[in-house]
Structure 1
Amino acid sequence: MTELPPLLPARRLSWQFLRLAAPYWNSADKWRVRGYTALLLLFTLAQVGLAIWMSYWSRALFDALEDKSLNALLVQIGTFVLIFLLTMAVTALHMHVKRWLQLDWRRWLTEKVLDRWMAQGHHYQLQLIGGEHDNPDGRIAEDIRIATESTVNLAHSLVYSLLVFGSFIDILLVLTGSAYVPGTAWLVPGYMVILAFVYAGAGTLFGLVLGRPLVKATNQLQTAEANFRFGLGHSRSNSESIALMRGEGMERRNAANFFAELGQRWNRQTVGYLGIMAFSSGYGALLPVFPILLMAPQYIAGSMTLGILMQAAQAFQKLTSALSWPIDNLGELAHCRASVQRVLSLYNDMQVLDEQAAEPQEHRISLLQSNQSELVLHDLCIANPDGQVLIEGLNATIHRGERVLIAGDPTVTISLFKVVAGLWPWGHGEVWLPAGAAISFLPQRPFLPLASLQSVLSYPHAADTFSAKAMHHALECAGLAWLAPRLADVDSWDRVLPLRAQQRLGMARLFLQQPAWVFIEEATDAFDPKGEDCMMDMLQRELPNASLLTISFHGGLDRHYQRKLVLNRPAEDKFLSCSTPSCALKVPG
């Protein structure tokens, strides 16, 4: 939970976002996507066409009123009904197409970022490296939504404004013609168009100056909102520990602090809105009146009809509104820009991880596939992400069916666990994985998804991969026979079960899935010595041919293992300079 860095320059931000998100229009479903995009443009053109038609209808209506012609008035009423029905139809179809594009683009971009986040342990490794990627779940769920929805909205409104600009500048030029500067013989052609540019330019200039604080305040508020959500989610995920420690008061204070920060930044955004909203309200209130007052002398002099006056006033408003697109969309631009940067920061940091993985092997640990049934650690050096060496010169070979107890410094042993799992690339050396069989990893606290118990046991395989009989047997072997009637029940198993039962459920998963290689990280530390001893015997019985590597710091387990690997840190702090072995391979007895 950190402050966002200064916003990237708009051109660089836009270019990076286009590189990330624009391939959507060339995706597997590209023809459908392009078809909907073309429809969106078509309906936008229809909206502009209806606005032009409405302008000429307004002229005809006021001319009919000025002539006091009932027949002409009835014709205009019928014409208005047609414009009204077409406007409703075009607006509804336009909204449907636009919302389909927004959702589908969000789906595509979410899948792209989510696939990268869930690939090669990035969701874990991001927690260990520097960078701007806090709250990745919020960035994927919320910021991608804002980025895609706002981009489509802004693109549509910009295209609409450009089309309106091109259409109504011609109308205004034709209707108003030229005029003399009061008190002079200087004839100004297209004076109303010039005044529209001056009016919109002044409004945009003042709006940008007044709205500058709003961009920064919006960016900061989004960060505070994300931090508040993260704090509440963290409390929810640790509710049992908080309740046992009577920590509710502290959590309330923490939540209050997060909300206080949110409130401060909300108030800053409010201050940012004050100037821009006050100016916008005055700017908008003057807009309908300003052109009528300017052209009133021509109407009074009889050089234009009432219909032309009203059509020209509407054309002036349309043209000015089109020219005012930047100021009218300043708030959404700020919101969109902040979310785009949050998405890009997350994606770019994941690219850094990919680039590190592609570095020469001497700069990272290489995971290689062996053609032998053995796990080989060759000249392995494990370091922290900052380069501090945890262990160096580690060489060991684990054959199929061997059982090895790993002890020593907890930081080193757990890092080795993560190295073999492919989650820890920092260091150098080689790890040769056994041929034809993946290693099943059982962490200290097994992951228990919110799903049925049969899905939990089968994870990460489908729930119907194993038979109910095999599941019953696995639960019985793990000492959880009492859970067998609940195989179809869906529950938050990581909350309703105590840690010991959760660890037994992790063991039941091994008994069910029968892996050839098993790497266990303190997965029985919640057991009493007798229970832990019995569980090791059960592992020997149910997985007699499996290779077993266990990280444990409990005494009395040596009899279950053929070898003991003791790992310790170097005597002095070192930074990625591996030369002297700092581990020993021992055989019990």
Structure 2
Amino acid sequence: MARLAAIGQPSRSRWGFLRLVLPYWNSEQKWKARGFSLALLLLTLAQVALVIWMNYWNRALFDALEAKSLSRLMVQIGTFVVILLLTVGVTALHMQVKRWLQLDWRKWLTVKVLDRWMAHGYHYQLQLTEGEHDNPDGRIAEDIQVVTGSTIALIHSLVYSLLIFGSFVDILLRVTGSASIPGTGLLVPGYMVILAFAYAGGGAMFGLLLGRPLVKATNRLQTAEADFRFGLAHARERSESIALMQGEEVERRSSTAVFAELGRRWYRQTLAYSGIVSFTSGYGVLLPVFPILVMAPQYIAGSMTLGVLMQAAQAFQQLTSALSWPIDNLSELARCRASADRVMSLYNDLLLLEERAAVRQEHRISLAQSNQAQLVLRDLCISNPDGKVLIEGLNEVIQRGERVLISGDPTVTICLFKVLAGLWPWGHGEVSLPAGPAICFLPQRPFLPPGSLQSVLSYPQPVGTFAAGAMQRALECAGVAWLAARLDEADNWHSVLPLRAQQRLGIARLFLQQPAWVFIEEATSVFEPKDEEYLMDMLHREMPDTTLLAISLQTGLERHYQRKLLLNHLPQEEQFLGYGTSLRELRKG
């Protein structure tokens, strides 16, 4: 089937992402979200305070060791126990608050995207439109988790690093003082701060150069991972058909090929990682040694104590680590950015579908609810997503209680089925749906959600809506009374039942729910003629006032209907053969 041109490009703007996610703090649970956010900030401040306290404790400990004072050492041991207990408590509480916030934000964003994906058949229409929205299930289940979890973790680490930076710049300036440049006599104030900036700046520059390919490699790998999962899920869902056709080898080769591409993208990401890992390893090994070597002459000269030397060395490490935040988090930033782009591209395309549905367009079918008990088609033209006309000039009025057989070209008849269901907007003209409850649509393969048989029959109503006796009666009318004993049994009915039994369950759902309007798409296609005749008689008897529109390619069913619509997709000069022809006229012909 032809696909529509791209409906949108993924937003690469950070502002687009912020517009999507920031309303969480103004949502219905805003006070709880703001409260936990404030608690997270306060706990981060507590973590920084404990690190500063530990820095001063480190100075006092080494001064006590240098003075060989046992009493001062015991005081520092007691102080360390207090710092340790507070650090453990604050860290544990911080983790709980952060993970609650990550989960709640993920839940809010998941519901926001899921509501649009599952609204008005957009999840179906999205498959027929081009754009960067492949594997929407993976984007909702995995990429949103990455976006929310990583964003909060990254923001926390950034705030922590900024606080550490401000605190330890001051400490390092006060404890190291100035140093003279050899041979010149010039004093350089705050030389250790300058060296910390140079050390971190050089590391950031080289790290960014080495990590430039990482964002693209990570994005491509995540796409390959999603494609691999989708292929395996597709094989699982179609396992019976694959087994019957002995297509396991084809599926195995297909999965192997997809995994081979995944492997190639994995190695490209590995190459991108390897340069960063090699550099950061050396960078990290040198970090604790570098400040001690630089300040050692001052200690040897007696201008600073051992405690001051160790405090300054630790402050240098803390400051440099804070300045190295972009390098330390480069891979996580790339992963978060890639997932944010995937979520944004899906959400943007869903928004475009929603906007197009809300605005009356010349090349879009208008679907609206009327105040009359009739279905009206006015100048209806149905086309493919690429604009190719399937049928045009269709005008028809179907009254409440009518029985209408629809036959002809399957492409046209099935598209009409989708038009009335709101899944196919391509074309032009108007469709006025009948007042009251929506039309019940029964496709060729009915949807049977996993769960108890009661939930299958009640779907989309909740379990408990219908009495057990009514369910048993519906199963009996549909010819599957043997399933009544399994009403409370949970199973994957789509897999365990043959198609004929699945179609009978779909018919049983009609008998149970008694909809006022029913549109059937070859829902008895695998039945024997006598079984189909029986079911049609049962529909007339059990649902005498229901309006029935049925697509069927089988002959011999005309007696069950009052009239027949014959819809054909013919060459361009003949868009359709006819419509609204009565059975009497057909028989005369």
TM above 0.5, yes or no, is yes
Moved more, 147-156 or 460-469: 460-469
For the 8 Å contact 2:365–2:426, the answer to whether it is kept is yes
SS in 1 for 2:520: strand
Q: What amino acid is aligned across from residue 84 of structure 2 in structure 1?
A: F
The aligned amino acid for 2:91 is: T
Deviation at 1:362, TM superposition (A): 2.7
- In the other structure, the counterpart of 2:580 is 585
AA partner of residue 159 (structure 1): V
Letter in 2 for 1:588: L
Moved over 3 A (4+): 580-583
Q: Deviations over 1:453-480 (max 9, x none)?
A: 1111111111211111111111111000
Of 102-111 and 207-216, more deviation after overlay is shown by 207-216
> Could you tell me which residue of structure 2 aligns to residue 254 of structure 1?
254
Q: Secondary structure at the match of 1:564?
A: strand
**Root-mean-square deviation (CA), in Å?**
1.6
Between the two proteins, the alignment pairs up a number of residues equal to: 578
Distance between the aligned counterparts of 1:415 and 1:8, measured in 2?
29
Could you say what secondary structure the match of 2:371 adopts?
coil
Report deviation, 1:252.
1.1
**Mapping 1:413-432, distance limit 5 Å:** 413-432=413-432
Q: How much does 1:571 deviate?
A: 2.3
Residue in structure 2 matched with residue 331 of structure 1 by the alignment? 331
Contact 1:392 1:582 in 2 (8 A): no
Q: Are the equivalent residues in 1 in contact too, given 2:454–2:488 (CA < 8 A)?
A: yes
Aligned-residue sequence identity (percent) comes to 72
Retained in 2: the 8 A contact 1:516–1:545?
A: yes
Q: CA deviation at 1:361?
A: 4.1
Residues 10 and 132 in structure 2, CA contact (< 8 A), matched pair in contact too:
no
Tell me the amino acid that sits aligned with residue 230 of structure 1: F
Question: Residue 584 of structure 1: SS of its match in structure 2?
Answer: coil
Instruction: Measure how far apart 1:136 and its partner are.
Output: 0.8
Greater mean alpha carbon deviation, residues 318-327 or residues 258-267 = 258-267
1:159-206 CA-to-partner distances (Å, cap 9, x unmatched) read 000000000000001111111111112221111111100000000000
Name the SS of the counterpart of 2:133 in structure 1: coil
Matched, 1:270 2:270: yes
Q: Give 1:119's aligned residue.
A: 119
SS in 1 for 2:579: strand
1:314 aligns with 2:314: yes
Question: What do the CA deviations read for 1:203-257 (whole angstroms, capped 9, x no partner)?
Answer: 0000011111222211111111111101100000000000000111111111111
Query: What's the CA shift for 1:358?
Result: 2.1
Partners of 1:393 and 1:582 within 8 A in 2: no
* Whole-angstrom distance in 2 between the partners of 1:319 and 1:222: 34
Pairing 1:177-576 to 2, within 5 Å after superposition: 177-572=177-572
Q: Is 1:80 matched up with 2:75? A: no
Q: Deviations over 1:303-349 (max 9, x none)?
A: 11111111011111111000000000001011111111111111111
Match of 2:587 in 1: none
Equivalent residue for 2:103?
103
- SS of the residue corresponding to residue 583 of structure 2 reads coil
Distance, in Å, in 1 between the alignment partners of 2:460 and 2:405 is 26
Contact 1:389 1:573 in 2 (8 A): no
**TM-score (normalised: structure 1):** 0.96
Cα deviation, residue 582, structure 1: 5.7
The alignment status of 1:70 with 2:67, answered yes or no, reads: no
| Bigger shift: residues 41-50 or 536-545 | 536-545
Q: Give the distance between the partners of 1:19 and 1:573, measured in 2 at CA.
A: 50
Q: What residue in structure 1 maps to residue 36 of structure 2?
A: 36
**1:59 aligned partner:** 59
| 2:457 and 2:509 in contact (8 A); partners too | yes
Structure 1 portions without partners, runs of 5+: 1-6, 575-579
CA distance in 2, matches of 1:255, 1:581: 43
Give the superposition deviation at 1:437.
2.9
In 2, distance between residues paired with 1:435 and 1:421? Answer: 15
In terms of mean alpha carbon deviation, does 157-166 or 171-180 score higher?
Answer: 171-180
Contact 1:132/1:345 (CA < 8 Å) preserved in 2?
Answer: yes
- The answer as to whether partners of 2:25 and 2:34 remain within 8 angstroms in 1 is yes
| Structure 2: gaps of 5 or more residues | 1-8, 585-589
